[in-house]
């Protein structure tokens, strides 16, 4: 199974001592209740056993996630309602499927307010894959901000990103050239290139060097098997939660009804562990000496950061970004090409400070993230009783209740985004940057700053800037490309 994951407002200010990409910390959109009516949350969880099974079949089979949430939002005339989400009984006896869905920007923002919600073991809702997949330890993504280890691990992640920034752009461009050389070779031989496997090889090599300081070329076995090992490791963890609308009811019977033993992927995981232990010693020792981690905790968290967050997130996001650009028929490519070459001028290489000035390139990246976030579902559990605010109502939420935000709908909030279903490449240009307060692809607003006190993606700014760098690199190399999210069919080299 292909990798799945967990990845700027105005151009960030100059680098600071704490982060080379530190972004301005702006406030989360206001959720003041003012004079809004206090209503009972509509919807229900249905009869015991029957309700969860019915909702599970709708979500996985009869409707799919998008129609599942849209139809209930329309039925209840509310962007906040009660429902069930998979997995659930009868095969997941310890998983409680009951959630409060939050589907507009105002209610969705509560998912990141750490004063009223907690994030302990809710990365994929009430379901949590076995910790055997992460060395029998709960890695940072499953820790709440109030757990002492969260601060150690989050600061470790932020620090390795800061250190990796010294080689980040160089490694990205070098490996990107290899990727595009391979694409050109495929097109020459076959007339097109199904590029996902090439993209994942590029990502594995680039991210291993930049994040872990480990060069896969030093271990040919890992270099060849690493991407597939991560795909399988990710896939088996998430398979009980991933909608697959084809081949029903076989998928429900044989794929969505069980958890899968770590033993199926343990060999590949051990190879990754040994690879980092041997070739990423400097980063591992940093975790031990400066952040008080054990060697095993440092390595397991590095694998999760590398494989789940970075590799997994980019593997979902970049094909969509490339496909959006390659299939465009509106003249967008010419505009992107002109901006890139105007900003770069006679510069011999790309830098983060250059792409920060490419407003259209950055806006296209943001708009792609808005419409197609790499992670579709966000969860949080009420830390205490509180009042949740949508655009037009206030709802009482009790301590312990699980909130579920379906991001593709929240990011199509018509009260925030004009013509929300359409791809508008200029949406975040000029005054449009104010809308970045409402862009929540990264477990927080795009204008936020990752820290040990929140759960925002540590690499938020690296993701958007790296995506912009890829687009910029592409238009320094090519005048245009043709294709979709699965394949590149033609490239026209720059004159």
Residue 421 lies in a domain: yes
Residue 36 lies in a domain: no
Is 53 exposed, middle or buried (CB count within 10 Å of its CB: 0-12, 13-18, 19+)? middle
Residue 364 lies in a domain: yes
Helix (H, G, I), strand (E, B) or coil at 403: strand
d(CA 420, CA 165): 35
Residue 427 lies in a domain: yes
The per-residue pLDDT for 137 is: 97
What CATH number is given to the structural domain containing 415?
1.10.630.10
**Strand 98-102, strand 402-406: pairing:** parallel
Residue 105 lies in a domain: no
φ, ψ of residue 446 in degrees (nearest 5): -60, -25
Domain range for 318 is 113-373+411-493
Residue 457 annotated as binding site = yes
For residue 296, give the nearest of 144, 137, 156 by alpha carbon: 137
87: DSSP letter: S
Residue 120 contacts residue 381 (beta carbons within 8 Å): yes
Residue 438 contacts residue 162 (beta carbons within 8 Å): no
**Strand 377-382, strand 402-406: pairing:** antiparallel
The per-residue pLDDT for 33 is: 54
Residue 48 lies in a domain: no
Helix (H, G, I), strand (E, B) or coil at 276: helix
Strand partners, 102: 80, 405
Structural domains in the chain (count): 1
- Which string of DSSP letters, residue by residue, matches 159-193? HHHHHHHHHHHHHHHHHHHHHHHHHHHHHHHHSSE
The per-residue pLDDT for 34 is: 66
pLDDT per residue as tens, the chain (495 positions): 444 433 333 333 333 333 333 333 333 444 455 689 999 999 999 999 999 999 999 999 999 999 999 999 999 999 999 999 999 878 898 999 999 999 999 999 999 999 999 999 999 999 999 999 999 999 999 999 999 999 999 999 999 999 999 999 999 999 999 999 999 999 999 999 999 999 999 999 999 999 999 999 999 999 999 999 999 999 999 999 999 988 999 999 999 999 999 999 999 999 999 999 999 999 999 999 999 999 999 999 999 999 999 999 999 999 999 999 999 999 999 999 999 999 998 788 899 999 999 999 999 999 999 999 999 999 999 999 999 999 999 999 999 999 999 999 999 999 999 999 999 999 999 999 999 999 999 999 999 999 999 999 999 999 999 999 999 999 999 999 999 999 999 999 998
Taking phi over 0 as left and psi of -120 to 50 as alpha, with beta for the rest, 95 belongs to beta
Helix (H, G, I), strand (E, B) or coil at 292: coil
Cis check for the bond before 249: say yes or no (omega within 30 of 0): yes
Strand partners, 382: 117
Residue 215 lies in a domain: yes
Residue 474 lies in a domain: yes
Cis check for the bond before 120: say yes or no (omega within 30 of 0): no
For residue 105, give the nearest of 487, 440, 479, 464 by alpha carbon: 440
Residue 350 contacts residue 473 (beta carbons within 8 Å): yes
């Amino acid at each position: 199974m292909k990798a799945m994951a967990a990845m700027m407002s105005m151009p960030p200010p100059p680098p600071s001592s704490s982060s080379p990409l530190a972004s301005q910390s702006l406030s989360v959109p206001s959720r003041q209740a003012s004079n809004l009516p206090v209503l009972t949350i509509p919807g229900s969880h249905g009869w015991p056993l029957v309700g969860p099974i019915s909702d599970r079949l709708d979500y996985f089979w009869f409707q799919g996630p998008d129609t599942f949430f849209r139809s209930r939002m329309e039925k209840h005339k509310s962007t906040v309602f009660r429902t069930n989400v998979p997995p659930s009984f009868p095969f997941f006896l310890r998983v409680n499927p009951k959630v409060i869905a939050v589907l507009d920007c105002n209610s969705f923002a509560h998912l990141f307010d750490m004063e009223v919600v907690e994030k302990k073991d809710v990365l994929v809702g009430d379901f949590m894959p076995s910790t055997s997949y992460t060395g029998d330890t709960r890695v940072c993504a499953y820790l709440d901000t109030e757990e002492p280890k969260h601060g150690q691990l989050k600061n470790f992640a932020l620090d390795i990103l800061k250190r990796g920034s010294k080689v980040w752009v160089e490694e990205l461009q070098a490996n990107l050239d290899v990727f595009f050389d391979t694409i050109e070779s495929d097109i020459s031989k076959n007339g097109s290139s199904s590029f996902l496997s090439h993209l994942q090889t590029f990502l594995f090599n680039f991210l291993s060097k930049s994040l872990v300081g480990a060069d896969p070329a030093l271990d040919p076995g890992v270099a060849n098997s690493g991407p597939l090992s991560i795909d399988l490791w990710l896939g088996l963890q998430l398979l009980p939660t991933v909608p697959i609308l084809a081949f029903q009811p076989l998928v429900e019977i044989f794929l969505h009804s069980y958890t899968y033993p770590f033993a199926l992927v343990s060999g590949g995981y051990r190879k990754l562990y040994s690879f980092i232990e041997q070739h990423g010693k400097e980063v591992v020792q940093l975790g031990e000496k400066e952040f008080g981690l054990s060697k095993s905790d440092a390595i397991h968290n590095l694998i999760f950061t590398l494989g789940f967050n970075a590799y997994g997130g980019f593997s979902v996001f970049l094909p969509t970004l490339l496909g959006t650009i390659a299939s465009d028929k509106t003249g967008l490519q010419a505009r992107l090409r002109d901006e890139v070459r105007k900003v770069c001028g006679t510069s011999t290489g790309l830098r983060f400070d250059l792409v920060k000035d490419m407003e259209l390139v950055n806006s296209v990246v943001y708009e792609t993230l808005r419409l197609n976030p790499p992670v579709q579902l966000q969860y949080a559990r009420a830390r205490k009783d509180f009042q949740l605010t949508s655009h037009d109502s206030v709802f009482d939420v009790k301590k312990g209740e699980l909130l579920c935000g379906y991001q593709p709908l929240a990011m199509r909030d018509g009260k925030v985004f004009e013509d929300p279903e359409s791809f508008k490449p200029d949406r975040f240009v000029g005054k449009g940057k104010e809308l970045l307060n409402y862009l929540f692809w990264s477990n927080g607003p795009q204008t936020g700053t990752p820290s040990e006190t929140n759960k925002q993606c540590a690499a938020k700014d690296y993701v958007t800037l790296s995506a912009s760098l890829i687009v910029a690199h592409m238009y320094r190399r090519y005048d245009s490309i043709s294709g979709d999210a699965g394949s590149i069919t033609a490239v026209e080299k720059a004159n």
